[in-house]
Amino acid sequence: MAYSSTSEAIEALAAEIGENVYMDVAKWHLYLRDAHLHTMLAERFYPLLQSGSFSRSQVEETLGSITVSLGGGKREVPLADLIPSSSQNQLVNLLQDYQRNL
């Protein structure tokens, strides 16, 4: 799919991430859109997708480098620890599909 601008492409990617990827907190699925993390992830992943050097390990590394504040800042946890494996797999598949359509 052709996008007229980079920001439009990032917004489309963010929407896909926000609707399909979730964190699991006490067995509650908190979608990244609701946690306001989808746009930040799209901004980090988009350059990797454009370069063609995207890999599963880069996804894991990126998720591990982002911390989520819990308990009003009492604790910070890597995003990778909050997203279950099935949702991480969904993210990788989503990114692969998005890259094919660039």
Averaged pLDDT, groups of 10, the chain, 102 residues long: 80 98 96 98 95 90 96 96 97 95 82
Q: Give me the residue spans of the domains in the chain.
A: 6-100
Compute the half-sphere exposure of residue 78: CA atoms within 13 Å on the CB side of its CA.
10
CB 83 within 8 A of CB 23: yes
The model carries a pTM of: 0.91
CB 17 within 8 A of CB 88: no
What sections of 1-102 are H helices per DSSP?
Answer: 6-20, 38-51, 56-65, 79-82, 85-100
